[in-house]
A and B are shown apart, each in its own frame.
Chain A
Amino acid sequence: MKRSTYISALSMAAVALMGTGMVTPANGQEGGPPGLQKQAMAAMRANEWSAALKSIDTCINTFGARAKDLGFDDKFGWFYFQRGVCLMQLKDYAKAIEAFNECYSKYPGVENEFVKVALFRRGEAQYMNKQYTDAIASMEQFMKERRTTGAEARMNLGQVYSMLAQCYFLGDKPDMTKGVEALSKCVVNRYKGKGIDDSYLVKAFMAMVQACLNEGKPKVVVDFLAKYPSVINLGAVRQAPYGTELLQLSSKTYEKMVEAQKEGKEALANSYASLSLDLASLIPDTNQVLGETAKIVKKLGGLRGIADTSVVYDKRILDQVDKIYKKLKAEKKPLEGYGLMGVANTHLNYGSIRVANKALELLEDRYSVLDKREDNLFQYAITTWTLGDVVKGSELVSRHLNTFPKSRHVDILNTMSLEKLLKDKKFDQCLIQSKKVKETNADDKSNKFYILASYCEAASLSYLKRYAEAVPLFQEFVKDYPDSGYTAQAIYFLGSAQTTLGRWADAIATFSSYIKKYPAMENNPLLANAYYERAYCYMQKGEDVNALSDAKIIADKFADSHVYPMALVMIGNIYTAKTETLPQAKEFYLKGYEAAKETKQKNVSSEALYNLMANAAAEATPESLKEAKKYVELFWSEADFAGNPFATQVAVTGLTINKDGGDGFEPNAKKLREIIIREGELNALNPKVEQAIGSYTKLYLETMEKLGKGLSLDAVREHFYNFPGVKKDDVSLRTILRTAVIGVYQDQIKELKPNQNEMRAQLEGNINVFFKELTAEFKPQDLSPYTLLKLGNHLSMTEQPLMALPYFEEIIKRNNEYLKEARFGKAIALGRSKDAAKIDEAIKIMSAELADERAKKNPDSKAMEEAQYYLILFQKDKGDYAQVVEQSKVYMENKAFKKHIVEAQYNLGLAYDKLNKLDQSLASFMSIANANKGQIRWSAPAVEQIMLVLWKRNRPQDGRKPSDRYFASTYGENYLGLTKSLFTRMSISEREQWRKVEALVKKYSADAGVIAEAKAVAERAAAIRESQGKKH
């Protein structure tokens, strides 16, 4: 390591020269020139420049004028030369120039060893004094006059050329050509003769860079570096002292590059870029610096320094470098980290995204504490996203936002965090943000962010269950971006949305396209799902064969997939639809149960166990019932969880198969009670809870009766008033329990024979007691508006709906919350009363509500729809079928009314039937049946009505047109065939409806006329086939 400043270099040179230049032995006195020279030399060796100058000046002042007379001849020039050296050290450059000038001009003889070197020193002093033109003249004069012997012969010309180069570069009007020429000579001569300090080269090089930046000529440096890279390519240790300056120059050059780009100067910008990278590449690696420094220090042993062949190592400077770079390392601010930042920015600027990304990755991995990390990490995230690594990009966005919560890049990062918003289930926010991002990037739809936002917008809508809006967006996405990174998910999402909307055919087509486009099983977790979803859609369409085929593909090929247990259960469901395949159904349910148990999919194992239990219970043999009980136990021990959709049904079945009153009765009754409480607390509006309460009440009372433990009124009251587990303040559940008991009593009355008056009186008495106590316990004035409304609504649905009126009246009286709901409730209670006058009042209330809403500026369309629907029901209850037709049409013609559209149409059909307009009646019911085939709750009653109306119309066979009755029979039969696969998923009431159709089909197909017609049709078909040469 060489000394890094001129002053230290000069002082070394001066001291070295002193040793060889001592003058004359003429006068050895202490006060004479030799003595003063001796004193000066001693002071100079001790770096005491003022003392040295004093001795020299004393000599010059005392003997200078008569030096030659005293016999010193031109050797006296020594004193002037050393005077200049001392003044240089004392930074008095003007006087130093004068001293060197006097050495040169006053003592020009050969005896003056320093006469030519003085020219160089004068140039140096002029350089230090920023007199660059004068310095150039002095240096050139030195080069011209220098001798091949003496002090100047030992000089390394590299240092002269370095000074010259610097003067050319640093002048007011830099002469780049001469500067480059001088610097070239400096590089070439550096190892010739006595070694020179690296600083001569480095300073000259940096002067060149600065001049080129000032002059806007970066190519000069780029070309120079290409020709003479060794000017600065010295190795880590020797470059180390200049690391900071190199970094600054690199940074300045980068800024110039950006400026040139803005000005559209492409070639110039490229030169700046090239130079900026060249300079960055010279910033030494900290670890290399420390390693090499340690090696040299070790070699030096205890020495303070050593002059090697091409370099002088100075331990003091090595120690300083070691200290500085260790500090930078400890502070995690190594210079190469900043250099790397510049490199990253340059590549980013030139569009080499992947290269920039790697630089940014290195920055994050190795220099994450740099003060620019906020920007670096941001760019790292951006480039990672741009390269398509969404997972890592998301992770980096999260890292950035966690580390810099107030980041100035937050807006852009939010854009990038769309996927994170999706992941975090912030769908509303994601939807808004997606739209913003699309708007921002609307000019380039191929932009990654635009594509991402398009996907996220549709996905958010889907998650928000706004499927109808999501479908067209997904369709557009798939069309516009058939090969994007999100296309596979988009197709899958589209199919799922179509499935949810019941668009079975569309969904099947979508999933088929997925399966075709992405058939590879590897890294394709959605493939099995697509098969499963398609199978489900096939089932909904009644295409059991196709459904079975897809489900079996999953069973055969996707044993590790999430849908594997689900597919097995699905196969079980398909097989359940046919009695002859029930054994297979059982086999697959058991497999599904085992698979789901293994993967801890309780929802699937509970479905499998529920179906195993239901099938076994339906078989109703002692063995099957025993089996059913086993599945019930397994369900509770392994598959149950709060909110389990099968829990209430299993609990009810468990009680049903134990209603013989044996040992299993009480535990199952207890279980059903617990499930009622658990599920009721989870969701008070869960209709299954109400159904379960009804079943429990019925089974409990019946079994008690069967066991001869017919409960007294007090016992019933005790049991249901203090139902175990129901909280006192859970008015909703408590009222449901009370009304359930009332409901059971009311049903029992309906089933009584006309002569069972005693029983009727007893039941009516019980009902009255219950109502009385209900109203006594739940006094309207003590209840909150919400409880009033709930209780009123429950009561209005019993056979004594008028019991609800006090609760609604209380709300209306308070004239505060739930007013509209109370008026509605009151009207409904009145409308269900079967009292014509009260129904009229209900109609009046509803009509008034409708009129009120219509008159409003912003009418409540929901309320209007409800009012219009109830008007239909009230008119029906009143028996005014012409009005039912009219009100139904009003409802159906309003396109905003959708909630009760099927019921409205159904009532229209019923009304036409009553009015004996059978063709119109059929049209209404057929419309329902055709549009809702898969929805049993709508289609089964409609099909039943179609069959009844056809039977009633009874048109005879007309040529090939079948008779109404034959058609009724075959229509029902076809319907059963199409929907039987859905049987396992039908609710109890749906199953009852479906069974009604089944019963009608059985009845009609047994009719003699229908049988005859069926036979004729079969014969005709056989004849046709025969004529076509077919056997069957």
Chain B
Amino acid sequence: MKTFSKILLLTGVMLTSTAFAQERTRVQSDALPRATMMDIYVIGGNQAAVQFKMSKDGGIQQLPLAQFKYFYMFEPEDFQSAMESYQNDNFREAKAKFGKVKTRLAAMQGLPDNYSQEAALYELDSAIRLLDWASVKTLCDSFPKQVPLIADEAQELEVNQLFAKLADNSYDALLADTQKMLADKKKWTLPQLGRIYYILGVAQAAKNQPEALDSLAVPVVASHGGEKELAASAILTSLDILLKNDKVVTFMKSVPSSSTVAQKSKAPLELKEAAALAYFYKNILCPDRVLNPKYDALLAYYTTPSARQSKPATPSAPAPAKK
């Protein structure tokens, strides 16, 4: 076993003597006094060397990672707390907590399955859920990459990094990137596909491309509504597009919301679509949020499923008599 000073020299890890994070880790190594499974307290390291203490109060030791037959880092309590906030959809709190975990455990970023990198992933995801593109950009730029992510996480990061370009309004780049990624749609999980389409839709909307509505519809369904923030944002962006649609504007002018149901039923498809989305947002997706009053007028053009079902069947025209 090497001495601590040598470890520092070998690994270049900078540790302050007073603020070592020490995380319980179950290990097994012939180089340790007990060759069976045991818990140690890891304070940092990388593939070349792991720094640890045998007990919380013990001295710092080190071993190359390869000398551990088994190496399982337990979930830190602050990570678990951040995760609880995340699972409660409290993304602001989660982002802050994950950020702290990431920093606190920075010395472990060279170790496999380390919670600093894990926290960084969740911190980034929380920023996306908060639609905080500036944070996403910053987090992407500083994402810890000392150890490679597993394939699934790497793919998720590939998608999430796209959001950073929204911070710069780099719509042309996003149009190109997303179209390239969508060349192989089946590569992505449904939630990932929803995110790619969300970005594409936002970029298309910014460029006044009519396909934006189609793209923005995907995130509403891809995670089955699970990523409510993106779904809600996609709907509101769609509503903004539809509110500017010539047919919608003309019809709403000529047939105001106070008109009869029969008159309003002749609304163009675009207005019917907008009304349905506004209703869905207000009553089903986000009943706990206040719908911006600018969309209220749309609701007057909506026919609820109940009203549609209660509409009496119209008898078909009689067949003409033989002349």
- B-chain residues with CB within 8 Å of residue A346 when the two chains form the complex: 284
Contact A336 B190 (CB under 8 A): yes
B276 is an interface residue with CB less than 8 A from chain A: yes
In angstroms, Cα B70 to Cα A260, docked, is 56
Identify B213's interface contact among A278, A309, A343, A354, CB under 8 A.
Answer: A354
Tell me which of A294-302, A513-521, A811-819, A976-984 binds B: A294-302
B6 is an interface residue with CB less than 8 A from chain A: no
Contact B303 A351 (CB under 8 A): yes
Contact B87 A230 (CB under 8 A): yes
Contact B77 A309 (CB under 8 A): yes
Contact B287 A358 (CB under 8 A): no
B97 is an interface residue with CB less than 8 A from chain A: no
B53 is an interface residue with CB less than 8 A from chain A: no
Q: Report B50-98 residues with CB < 8 Å from chain A CB.
A: 70, 72, 74-77, 80, 83-84, 87-89
In angstroms, Cα B304 to Cα A351, docked, is 8
In angstroms, Cα B306 to Cα A349, docked, is 10
A765 is an interface residue with CB less than 8 A from chain B: no
- A-chain residues with CB within 8 Å of residue B193 when the two chains form the complex: 362
Q: Report B183-209 residues with CB < 8 Å from chain A CB.
A: 185-186, 189-191, 193
Identify A306's interface contact among B72, B275, B306, CB under 8 A.
Answer: B72
- B-chain residues with CB within 8 Å of residue A230 when the two chains form the complex: 84, 87-88
CB of B279, distance to nearest CB on chain A (Å): 7
Residue of A nearest to B197 (CB): A358
Q: Report A244-284 residues with CB < 8 Å from chain B CB.
A: 260-266, 269-270, 273-274, 277-278, 280-283
A801 is an interface residue with CB less than 8 A from chain B: no
In angstroms, Cα B88 to Cα A359, docked, is 27
Tell me which of A438-446, A494-502, A878-886, A1012-1020 binds B: A438-446
- A-chain residues with CB within 8 Å of residue B280 when the two chains form the complex: 347, 350, 352, 355
- B-chain residues with CB within 8 Å of residue A302 when the two chains form the complex: 70
In angstroms, Cα B309 to Cα A342, docked, is 19
In angstroms, Cα B226 to Cα A336, docked, is 12
B223 is an interface residue with CB less than 8 A from chain A: yes
Contact B218 A358 (CB under 8 A): yes
Contact B287 A222 (CB under 8 A): yes
Residue of B nearest to A344 (CB): B221
Contact B309 A261 (CB under 8 A): yes
Q: Type the 1/0 row for A419-451, where 1 means its CB is closer than 8 Å to any CB of B.
A: 000000000000000000001101110100000
Report whether over half of chain A's contact residues are helix, strand or loop; otherwise say mixed: helix
Residue of A nearest to B70 (CB): A301
- B-chain residues with CB within 8 Å of residue A342 when the two chains form the complex: 224
CB of A484, distance to nearest CB on chain B (Å): 11
Contact B305 A351 (CB under 8 A): yes
- B-chain residues with CB within 8 Å of residue A443 when the two chains form the complex: 314
- A-chain residues with CB within 8 Å of residue B76 when the two chains form the complex: 309
Contact A264 B276 (CB under 8 A): no
- B-chain residues with CB within 8 Å of residue A356 when the two chains form the complex: 221
Which residue, B152, B190, B265, has most C-beta atoms of chain A within 10 A? Answer: B190
Identify A340's interface contact among B75, B224, B316, CB under 8 A.
Answer: B224
Contact B89 A350 (CB under 8 A): no
A339 is an interface residue with CB less than 8 A from chain B: yes
Residue of A nearest to B88 (CB): A230
B103 is an interface residue with CB less than 8 A from chain A: no
Residue of B nearest to A295 (CB): B150
Residue of B nearest to A263 (CB): B306
Residue of B nearest to A445 (CB): B266
Contact A280 B225 (CB under 8 A): yes
- With contacts A264-B306, A277-B224, A299-B113 taken as known, whether A358 is within 8 angstroms of B276 at the C-beta atoms is no
- A-chain residues with CB within 8 Å of residue B226 when the two chains form the complex: 281-282
- With contacts A191-B80, A336-B190 taken as known, whether A270 is within 8 angstroms of B287 at the C-beta atoms is yes
Q: Type the 1/0 row for A345-369, where 1 means its CB is closer than 8 Å to any CB of B.
A: 0110111111111110010011000
In angstroms, Cα B77 to Cα A260, docked, is 45
- B-chain residues with CB within 8 Å of residue A358 when the two chains form the complex: 214, 217-218, 220-221
- A-chain residues with CB within 8 Å of residue B269 when the two chains form the complex: 353, 386-388
In angstroms, Cα B280 to Cα A444, docked, is 25
CB of A295, distance to nearest CB on chain B (Å): 6
Contact B303 A439 (CB under 8 A): no
Contact A308 B316 (CB under 8 A): no
In angstroms, Cα B224 to Cα A542, docked, is 67
Contact A339 B224 (CB under 8 A): yes
B10 is an interface residue with CB less than 8 A from chain A: no
In angstroms, Cα B87 to Cα A191, docked, is 13
- B-chain residues with CB within 8 Å of residue A110 when the two chains form the complex: none
A764 is an interface residue with CB less than 8 A from chain B: no
- B-chain residues with CB within 8 Å of residue A310 when the two chains form the complex: 75, 80, 83-84
CB of B202, distance to nearest CB on chain A (Å): 16
Identify A442's interface contact among B186, B217, B220, B316, CB under 8 A.
Answer: B316
CB of B7, distance to nearest CB on chain A (Å): 25
Contact A280 B217 (CB under 8 A): no
Identify A274's interface contact among B217, B287, B304, CB under 8 A.
Answer: B287
Contact A283 B224 (CB under 8 A): yes
Contact A353 B224 (CB under 8 A): no
Q: Type the 1/0 row for B22-54, where 1 means its CB is closer than 8 Å to any CB of A.
A: 000010000000000000000000000000000
In angstroms, Cα B278 to Cα A355, docked, is 13
- B-chain residues with CB within 8 Å of residue A277 when the two chains form the complex: 224-225, 284-285
- With contacts A350-B284, A359-B221, A365-B186 taken as known, whether A228 is within 8 angstroms of B302 at the C-beta atoms is no
A292 is an interface residue with CB less than 8 A from chain B: yes
A724 is an interface residue with CB less than 8 A from chain B: no
B102 is an interface residue with CB less than 8 A from chain A: no
Contact A234 B284 (CB under 8 A): no
- A-chain residues with CB within 8 Å of residue B77 when the two chains form the complex: 309
Residue of A nearest to B238 (CB): A354
CB of B304, distance to nearest CB on chain A (Å): 5
- With contacts A354-B273, A362-B222 taken as known, whether A285 is within 8 angstroms of B189 at the C-beta atoms is yes
Contact A229 B88 (CB under 8 A): yes
- B-chain residues with CB within 8 Å of residue A343 when the two chains form the complex: 221, 224-225
- B-chain residues with CB within 8 Å of residue A444 when the two chains form the complex: 265
Contact A309 B80 (CB under 8 A): yes
Contact B224 A366 (CB under 8 A): no
A784 is an interface residue with CB less than 8 A from chain B: no
CB of B130, distance to nearest CB on chain A (Å): 16
- A-chain residues with CB within 8 Å of residue B84 when the two chains form the complex: 191, 230, 310
B259 is an interface residue with CB less than 8 A from chain A: no
- B-chain residues with CB within 8 Å of residue A664 when the two chains form the complex: none
Contact A440 B316 (CB under 8 A): yes
Identify A229's interface contact among B80, B89, B217, B224, CB under 8 A.
Answer: B89
Contact A308 B224 (CB under 8 A): no
Given A228-B88, A230-B87, A347-B221: 5 more A-B contacts, CB < 8 Å: A233-B88, A270-B284, A349-B305, A359-B221, A365-B186
Question: A residues engaging B (CB < 8 A)?
Answer: 191, 222, 226, 228-230, 233-235, 260-266, 269-270, 273-274, 277-278, 280-283, 285, 287-288, 291-292, 295, 299-303, 306, 308-311, 336, 339-340, 342-344, 346-347, 349-359, 362, 365-366, 386-388, 439-440, 442-444, 446
5 examples of A-B residue contacts, CB within 8 angstroms: A263-B306, A274-B287, A277-B285, A282-B226, A349-B305
7 A-B pairs with least C-beta separation: A281-B226, A291-B152, A230-B87, A443-B314, A351-B276, A359-B221, A309-B75
Question: B residues engaging A (CB < 8 A)?
Answer: 26, 70, 72, 74-77, 80, 83-84, 87-89, 113, 150-152, 185-186, 189-191, 193, 213-214, 217-218, 220-226, 265-266, 269, 272-273, 275-277, 279-280, 283-285, 287-288, 302-306, 308-310, 314, 316-317
